[in-house]
Structures are given as structure tokens and as C-alpha cells.
A and B are shown apart, each in its own frame.
Chain A
Amino acid sequence: MTRRAPFTAVFGGVLIALLVGCSAVSQTPSVPPKHPEELPAGRVDCLECHKDVSTGALKPYATVRHSRVFIDSHGTYARQGQNLCASCHVPSFCQTCHARKDEIKPNVKMGDRPDRMAPHRGDYIATHRIDGRIDPGSCFRCHGNKNDAICRRCHK
């Protein structure tokens, strides 16, 4: 079997399931592809306009309010589906930080937005030695198999 065969088999199977399942797609209005109203500047609080849970497969608005708690654990929610994020964020928003081989740190790109959470502020070349020792798993998520260009200068 060629290396492409498993991909073709799985992807083909899912496509067939999709075709069969199209008639069974839920018609309950779920998350819209784009927020219908303009969003104000700064950190937006959904609860200013929305109450509790919307219809469809949505979580409560309080769950996705962008508090420090949510921002710290946003990956857990994103792994259950990106549609909700994409309703208010353009798809490239994630790639401000989650890149393959970006050369500019997120906090440098957003030097005019110190209010936003951004990793690696300051001279992180020094501090990463400590953070890397005490919690290397936090480095691995983004630098384990991508986004390593800057690591190359020392780790060869």
C-alpha cells in the first residue's frame, strides 16, 4: 500500500459519510460565519449583548468571554471546533502566534497593543532557559515540530 493510500481511504470514507449525512445535517441555526454587527475596539465582552446560550451547538456566551481564564485555556475550546472563534476572528488571527516559521515575535508585531496577551515578552532568550526547564511541555506545543527558526541560532 502506498503512503497516500491510508489518507485516500480515510478521506474518501469521510466524504461518502458526508454525502450520505448531508440529508441529516442539523438545521438548527448554529454559529454564524461572521458576527453580524461591527465589533468595537479592544477586548469584546459577548455578555454585554448576549444572554446565556444561543441555539444550535453553541456553548454559553459566558464560557467564551475573553477573561484571563478563557485566554489561558482557549486551546481546549478551539479543539472542539474553530467555527465559534471564526465568527468574530478572521481565520488568520490564530496564525499571529500559531505559525510554522514566523520570524517576528507576536509581542513585537503587536507592540502597539500591550493590553493583549502575547507570549515571550522582554528578552525571552534569557528567560526561556528557566521556563524551558520547569515546563518544557509549554514550549513543545508551538515549537515541537514547527516555528523553530529562531531556535536554530543556538540549538543545532
Chain B
Amino acid sequence: MGRPATVAAFGKRLLPPIVSISLLLSLLPVGAARAADVSVSSRTYLQYYERELAGGTKNRLAPLSEYLSGDAVNLGGSPIAFHFYGWGRVDLSDPTGSGKESGDLGSAYLEYLHPQGNAQVKLGRFFLTEGAAMETLDGGFVKVTTPLGIGISGYGGSPVEQSILDNTDTGGSLYGGRVFFNRSGLTEIGVSYLKEKGPFQGKDRELYGGDLWLRIAPPVEITAQATYNQATKGMASQRYALRIIPGSRFDFSAGYEAYSYRDLFQTALHPIFVTPSAAIDNTDKVRTIFGVLDWEVVSGLTFELAGKNIRHDRANPGTANRGEAGVRYTFNDKKDVFGLSAAVVTADRDENEYQEYRGFVTFSPSKFRLTLDALTQQYKQAIDGRKNAHQIVASAGYKVLAYLSFSGDLTYTQSPTFQKDYAGLFRASLDLGTSTGGQK
């Protein structure tokens, strides 16, 4: 059974005219003004590693990947922009995947942004986070905020998804919207709706969402985010947090989150989440209490503490606790960072307990950049016969020009998966732009 032709084709048909219009607009002269501010970013990665196959033969893998993004704003002198992002891979040696080539178009869309930033239109393929939605979509999005602070947004099109299984449908069409109210510096509250036609355990995906940001007093904020699954008639997920930010150096948050396997995972296309093939009990529910602290004790020296208590309704996996402590020291005019961290996971079941320790440092003298990152994990119960894992990543780079730099990474791994593994990566980074101002 194929994907519904109409909506998918509609989304795909949008892309060529959008690219054409964007190129045309960027060529239009508008007085003496530049027809567009253009920036292009390229990341080229050449990796090299070996993988042992069953029978003892070795594959030598050398994938060459290119990640390209481009942004053209003020097209034709108007508040219209075109954004593009995509990647492609070709294998220079043995195939890394099902073929020797692969790639994906992440986004390609036209955007209108109101001069004061209070209205927006997107058309094409784009990544969207709006209320209950966190999607990549072939379609359109509109959003307007009125002088009263009441606003509305809507979107629709074909979801850009991927199913782990060949010949399995993904969603056919997706639409939704959000109504919200905001008051500068005080609150933003929204309700949202999302519906996706598709093969989600015999039902469509239909969600109602609610979100809240409320500043009770200057240092105290409350956030809330909840999603109700209409298809299963149950709360899919909830997250509530209290955050205290008394100054620029102290940030603390504590809260509660919960989700139900049945109601959250109903919308999965990945069989690991879905009964009957699920490796997990889909009647389980999870309730988590968490706290996070970020405290810059003196300029450049920051302590981070985090803790989580994760409780399951089912005895397997039962309860788990994760505690983390870390320190970061920033130096060399904030260009470089030294960090140490430790995390301990305790649990009802030995198979779920482990400890993790990490240290990293970056050093950027002049045009050079050197980094070292070391991670070790100790499992209470062996995984594939091994109770620990180690990885060290060393990187060295040189900035040839203000917009061009090269770097190389060498990674060494010993773990349950890799007895002794070396991997190399060469990276070329190019950033060109005609506009002023900063985006990263």
C-alpha cells in the first residue's frame, strides 16, 4: 500500500516553484540596494573506519558527506526570505548503508516575516515547533499576533517522516493550529490541535496540546506543557516546572513530568514502541521528578547539578534515579572551555545501573583549535560480556581564512560493541555571507 498520492505530491510539487521564485527575487534590483542578503554554510565530512562482519571479513568505510545550508533574506528588498538545508553522502569505499549514496532535503522554504516580527508565513519544507507539533512538513504555516496579544497560527501539508520498515506507510496529511495569548514579560498561554492522517495502530494521530509560560515574579517562572491523545482518549505527556532565575548567574528548575506508553507511543512508526512487536510493556506509565541547577560561582566557573527520579508503574523496569554533577570553566575570552562531569544511575534492577565520567578541554591559540574529550562508562551488569566502555576523541583544526577552516578528529573506542575501534574524520567548514549581524 503506497502513501496517499495527492497530499504527498502536493507537498513535493511546492518545492520547485519555491526555489524558482526565490532565485528570481534575489536577482531583482531594488534601487541601489542589494537584492538579497545571502549566507551559505557548508560542512564537509570525510570519515574513515573499519567494521568487522560475520565470518571475520572487514569492511573499510569512507563515507564523504556534505551538509549545505543557505539563507537569502530581504529578497528583492522585501521581508521575504528563502532558507535551504540538505545533505548528501557518497561512499568512497565499501557501502555504509543500503547503497553507496544517500541524502535528504531537510528544508527549502519561503518565509515572510512581518517587519515588526508579529506575523509570519512559511511555504515549502520546514521544521516546525508550534504547540503540540514538532514536525518537518511539506506545506504551509501562518502565524499572527494582534495588538491585544491574542494570536493564531495554522499549518497544513504532508508530514516528512520516515518509517523504519520498508514498504510501511508514513502519515499522509497533517494539519493543525494554535491559539495563544501573550503579554510581554508576564505570560504566554496556548492551546493547540494537531491531526495527522496515517497508519498509527489503525487510527489517525490526533492531539490536543496546552502550553504555559508564566512569570510569577521577576525571578520565578512556571512552565507547563501537556498533550492529550484524542485517538486513545488519554493524556500522552505532561511536563510542569518551576524555575528560579534571581540573576544572571543562578538558574534553578524543578518539576514533574509524566507519560503513558499507550497514549504517547500510539503515534509511533517505529515498531520498538508499539504493541504487539514492542519490546516494552505498553500498559506502563512513567512519572518523573526532576531538578536542575546551573550556578556560575565566579565569572567563568559554573557548577551544574541535576537529578531525576523516574518511577514506572511496572516492576520491570521499576524505579531509577539519575544524579549528575559537573563543572565548566570558560577561558581565553570565552573561546575555550574545560569541563568535568559525573553521572550515576541507580535502579531497582541491576541491568539498569551505570556510572559515567567525562572530561573535556578545548584550546584555541591564534588560528588553531585543539580539543580532547574523554568518556568512560561502568555498567553494573555486563552488556554483551563487557562491564565498561571508553571513548576518547582528539581533534585538531586550523582556521585558514575567516570563513574557512579545516579540522580532523581521531576517535578511539573500547566498548561492548567495539573491542578496539579507531575512527578518523576530516572536516571542512565554509561560511560565506553578504549580510551584517549575527546568526549561528
Contact = CB atoms under 8 A, between A and B. Distances in A.
Interface of A: 2-4, 6-8, 10-11, 13-15, 17-18, 21-22, 24-43, 45, 47, 52-60, 62-63, 65, 67-70, 72-73, 75-83, 86-95, 98-104, 108-109, 111-115, 121-123, 125-127, 129-130, 132-137, 140-141, 143-149, 151-152, 155-156
A124 to B, nearest CB: 9
A120 to B, nearest CB: 11
A94 B41 contact: no
B280 interface: yes
Interface stretch (B17-25, B27-35, B52-60, B329-337): B329-337
Given A95-B85, A123-B418, A42 B269 contact: no
A114 to B, nearest CB: 4
Given A42-B335, A104-B65, 12 more contacts: A10-B176, A30-B145, A59-B213, A60-B218, A69-B294, A77-B213, A100-B106, A111-B395, A114-B393, A127-B354, A136-B261, A145-B270
B9 to A, nearest CB: 10
Given A29-B116, A72-B292, A98-B127, A129 B427 contact: no
A10 B354 CA distance: 49
A89 B185 contact: no
B275 interface: no
B425 A108 contact: yes
B211 A80 contact: yes
B339 A115 contact: yes
Given A27-B147, A140-B265, A155-B270, A79 B85 contact: no
Contact of B225 (A18, A35, A76): A76
Interface string B89-113: 1000000110000101011000001
Contact of A22 (B144, B213, B417): B144
Nearest to B136: A100
Contact of B415 (A108, A123, A143): A123
Which of A6, A32, A82 gathers the greatest number of chain B CB atoms within 10 Å? Answer: A82
A47 B102 CA distance: 42
Contact of A35 (B47, B174, B190, B439): B439
Interface in B33-68: 39, 41, 43, 45, 47, 63, 65, 67
A73 B241 contact: yes
A54 B411 CA distance: 44
Given A42-B337, A137-B237, A2 B102 contact: no
A18 B245 CA distance: 37
Contact of B379 (A7, A90, A130, A156): A130
B265 A144 contact: yes
B345 A130 contact: yes
Contacts of B176: 10
Interface in B111-153: 113-114, 116-121, 126-134, 136, 139-140, 142-147, 149, 152-153
Given A11-B156, A137-B264, A4 B164 contact: no
Contacts of B136: 98, 100, 146
A88 B438 contact: yes
A81 B104 contact: no
Given A27-B147, A41-B335, A69-B243, A98 B134 contact: yes
A69 B252 contact: yes
16 contacts: A10-B156, A33-B73, A52-B218, A59-B188, A63-B215, A63-B243, A79-B132, A82-B130, A91-B126, A111-B393, A112-B371, A123-B389, A133-B317, A133-B351, A146-B269, A147-B162
Contact of B417 (A56, A102, A126, A134): A126
Contact of B184 (A37, A53, A87, A90): A53
Interface string B395-417: 10100000000010101010111
Contact of B268 (A83, A94, A101, A145): A145
Which of A25, A37, A58 gathers the greatest number of chain B CB atoms within 10 Å? Answer: A25
A3 B7 contact: yes
A45 B248 contact: yes
B190 A90 contact: no
B228 interface: no
Contacts of A99: 104, 106
A140 to B, nearest CB: 6
Nearest to A108: B425
B267 A145 contact: yes
Contacts of B146: 21, 24-26
A18 B127 contact: no
A47 B251 CA distance: 13
A87 B424 CA distance: 35
A42 B438 CA distance: 13
A38 B119 contact: no
Top 6 nearest A-B pairs by Cβ distance? A14-B154, A30-B117, A39-B438, A53-B185, A123-B415, A92-B85
A50 to B, nearest CB: 10
A72 B107 CA distance: 25
A100 B85 contact: no
A47 to B, nearest CB: 4
B208 interface: no
